[in-house]
């Protein structure tokens, strides 16, 4: 299948961070987090084509990425507190790859496909809300982090 076939088959729509997505599950169970109530968990299909990327962003909840098909996906995780960068390669059969990657709440993340397209799922808990999503480029002083090892990934801003 081509990327366009998968996009059409799964009825995916453009995602603000890049790529294509569709929410496939939103728990009816609710959890309290401070003064906020939100779904216990959410899940989406997410597809990145070769020339697309998931721009650097941060989510206020834990996110688990599950590889489903296509080319390997490079998933980057940067902790602004420790200034530690981790590179995950998601795939079911590629050497040095794992089918799952975990991004803790507050860790900056970005991704790109290493081939024609990569299809993954993202599960967020507590459930994803766009109010808890920020592009890293909108955070104050973010540029000070894109030096040294992280400078090679500044194009993903």
pLDDT tens-digit profile of 71-128? 999 999 999 999 999 999 999 987 899 999 999 999 999 999 999 999 999 999 999 9
Other CB atoms within 10 Å distance of the CB of residue 139: 15
Nearest partner of 63 among 47, 43, 83, 91, judged by Cα: 43
Instruction: Return d(Cα 22, Cα 14) in angstroms, integer.
Output: 9
Q: Is 147 left (phi over 0), alpha (psi -120 to 50) or beta?
A: beta
**Confidence band of 155 (pLDDT split at 50, 70, 90):** very high
The predicted structure's pLDDT at residue 95? 83
Q: 3-class DSSP state for residue 25? A: strand
71 DSSP 8-state letter: S
Domain boundaries, the chain: 3-156
Task: Evaluate if residue 30 carries a pLDDT over 90.
Answer: yes
Q: Superfamily assignment of 3-156 in CATH?
A: Jelly Rolls (2.60.120.10)
- Bridge partner residues of 14 (DSSP): 20
Q: What is the dihedral of CA 100, 103, 117, 14, to 10 degrees?
A: 130
Strands (E) across 80-151 are located at 84-90, 100-103, 108-113, 117-125, 133-135
Give residue-wise pLDDT tens across range 57-72.
999 999 999 999 999 9
List all residues 6 or more positions away from 46 whose beta carbon is below 8 Å from its beta carbon.
15, 19, 20, 21, 54, 119, 120, 121, 122
pTM of the model: 0.95
10, with CB counted inside 10 A (0-12, 13-18, 19+), is middle
């Amino acid at each position: 299948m081509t990327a366009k076939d998968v996009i059409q088959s799964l009825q995916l729509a453009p995602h603000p961070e890049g790529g294509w997505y569709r929410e496939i599950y939103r728990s009816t169970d609710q959890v309290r987090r401070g003064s906020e109530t939100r779904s216990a968990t959410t899940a989406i299909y997410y597809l990145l084509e070769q020339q697309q990327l998931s721009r650097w962003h941060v989510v206020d909840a834990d996110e688990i990425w599950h590889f489903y098909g296509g080319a390997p996906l490079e998933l980057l995780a940067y902790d602004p507190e420790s200034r530690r960068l981790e590179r995950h390669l998601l795939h079911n059969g590629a050497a040095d790859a794992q089918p799952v990657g975990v991004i803790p709440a507050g860790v900056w993340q970005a991704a790109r496909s290493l081939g024609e397209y990569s299809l993954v799922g993202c599960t967020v808990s507590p459930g994803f809300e766009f109010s808890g999503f920020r592009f890293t480029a909108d955070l104050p002083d973010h540029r000070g982090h894109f030096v040294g090892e992280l400078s090679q990934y500044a194009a993903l801003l």
